[in-house]
Amino acid sequence: MSESTVLSHFHKKQAWMASHVESAQFPTAESKEGLRLYKAAESEPASTETPSGGATEGFTFYEVDCHPLMVRYAKTLAQKWPESEREAIMEFLSQLSLTDLPTPDGMHVELYVAMQEGTPVATGMLFSSEESDGKVIGIYDVYGLTSDASNAIKQHLISLAGNGNVVVSA
């Protein structure tokens, strides 16, 4: 997969994330700051093999399909940032919606929360886009409160991504 394909995919993901603030009728200063912090923390993904394996026992994975799961996703992922930045990140992430804004043709987004004993412990995103080299599936926003939780959500997302053009953000 070419570097230009990976960059095109990444830029589409960034544009989708930003659209939730930039397309809002009255975006708050905090959500704009949260978007800025989010973008600053992002790194370009790298093409990867999709090895299977890793322990996912003890974790339950939920695709975000309702507001309560979106809140859990936002609260858990916000833990990745320093305490002083979490409020702005939460404001930004709370603007994300999988239903309010239409996803452009050729793109698909799935957000996931991993739970352990009923408590949210990890997050992750699958973002796919049609590119010149075919479909690219990106794994983003992998964050766990523990390394086991982080590894579990990453393995879950890899299993969902399947074979093909897969990129993973560090």
Residue ranges covered by each domain of the chain:
3-168
Instruction: Count Cα neighbours of 93 within 13 Å in the Cβ-side half-sphere.
Output: 28
pLDDT attached to residue 163: 77
What phi and psi, each to the nearest 5 degrees, are found at residue 48? -145, 155
Instruction: Give the pLDDT mean for 6-33.
Output: 92
Query: Residue 49 above 80 pLDDT?
Result: no
Choose the weakest-confidence range: 1-5, 26-30, 145-149: 1-5
Residue 57: both structure tokens together: 């026992």
Choose the weakest-confidence range: 67-76, 116-125, 156-165: 156-165
pLDDT band at 99; cut points 50, 70, 90: low
Query: Residue 50 above 70 pLDDT?
Result: no
Contact 142, 124 (CB under 8 A): yes
Domain at 3-168, CATH from 3.40.630, 1.20.1420, 1.10.3470, 2.60.40: 3.40.630
Residue 29: both structure tokens together: 């200063």
Instruction: Give the pLDDT mean for 55-67.
Output: 91
Query: Residue 138 above 70 pLDDT?
Result: yes
Q: How far is the C-alpha of 122 from the C-alpha of 14, rounded, in Å?
A: 21
pLDDT attached to residue 53: 62
Using CA atoms, how far residue 35 sits from 151, 157, 160, 163, in Å, is: 26, 24, 27, 31
pLDDT attached to residue 144: 97
Instruction: Give the pLDDT mean for 81-102.
Output: 88
Query: Residue 100 above 80 pLDDT?
Result: no
